[in-house]
Amino acid sequence: MFDYLFGLIGLALLGIIINAIKILREYERGVIFQLGRFWKVKGPGLIIVIPVIQQIERVDLRVIVMDVPTQDVISRDNVSVKVNAVVYFRVIDPEKAIIQVEKYLEAVSQLAQTTLRSVLGQHDLDDMLAEREKLNHDIQAILDRQTDAWGIKVSNVEIKHVDLDESMIRAIAAQAEAERQRRAKVIHATGEKQAAKELVEAAKMLEEAPNAIQLRYLQTLTEIAGNKTNTIVFPLDLVKQAREMLG
């Protein structure tokens, strides 16, 4: 009878000892509460937690990659877009992460969603598409500042997609095509302006040297004469002027 009782007691003690032994990995820490009050942070390695008197909350210190669900955002110029992002953060103070906020993973997710809508709603659609790096930094700074009290460090935020509806895509394509046509017209008009300027300068030069007009005329006739099918008629006054120039 006593042997049986001692055996039960021995098994109970062995169970208590096994239950009291905890092994924390290199990236884990254990927040220990003793009789409901915070006691200390332990780990990594082998630690002893006294059953009933002490309780442990495990905290992962690795960088957590969290997808922010797609958010409906109204830009400052009243364009409706769907935006999603990814947040990179990690726990740097396990005590605060357990004591200061309930379910810190969910808290960071909710905060990231509201911050994403708030920051992007203050910018035009063009800013969302062209200045994504700046928006990433702004969101990261706000999240990092607000989660500091939770013992959490937000290291990076990346906006992944900015999706538009079909009508807005068509409108942007039409705007881009109109801009290309405008630039083409400006380039053509600039070329015409430069050509006209060169012609004016050439006319002034020819006006100052009348004989140059005749030489140019003769040069043009020479080019035409290269084609044997053409018949060239020289004006009499032109022949006289050419003789005077050569004679």
How high is the pLDDT of residue 116?
94
What is d(CA 20, CA 14) in angstroms, rounded to the nearest whole number? 10
The residue to which tokens 């598409």 are assigned: 129
CB atoms within 10 A of CB 62: 11
How high is the pLDDT of residue 15?
73
The single-letter code of the amino acid at 72 is D
Q: For 64-164, which CATH superfamily applies? A: Band 7 domain (3.30.479.30)
What is d(CA 31, CA 60) in angstroms, rounded to the nearest whole number? 11
What is d(CA 7, CA 36) in angstroms, rounded to the nearest whole number? 33
What is d(CA 11, CA 223) in angstroms, rounded to the nearest whole number? 117
How high is the pLDDT of residue 56?
94
Running DSSP on this structure, what letter comes out for residue 121? Answer: T
What is d(CA 97, CA 103) in angstroms, rounded to the nearest whole number? 8
pTM: 0.67
Burial (CB < 10 A; 0-12, 13-18, 19+), residue 66, is middle
The residues, ordered by sequence, that sit 6+ positions from 102 with a Cβ below 8 Å of its Cβ are none
Burial (CB < 10 A; 0-12, 13-18, 19+), residue 120, is buried
Contact 156, 175 (CB under 8 A): no
Burial (CB < 10 A; 0-12, 13-18, 19+), residue 124, is middle
Contact 245, 214 (CB under 8 A): yes
Q: pLDDT of the chain along its 247 residues, tens only?
A: 666 666 777 777 777 788 889 999 999 999 999 999 999 999 899 999 988 899 999 999 999 999 999 999 988 888 888 999 999 999 999 999 999 999 999 999 999 999 999 999 999 888 888 899 999 999 999 999 999 999 999 999 999 988 877 655 555 655 666 667 777 777 877 877 787 777 777 667 666 666 556 656 656 656 666 556 556 555 555 555 555 554 5
How high is the pLDDT of residue 96?
96
What is d(CA 124, CA 138) in angstroms, rounded to the nearest whole number? 15
What phi-psi label fits residue 41: left (phi over 0), alpha (psi between -120 and 50 degrees) or beta?
A: beta
How high is the pLDDT of residue 129?
84
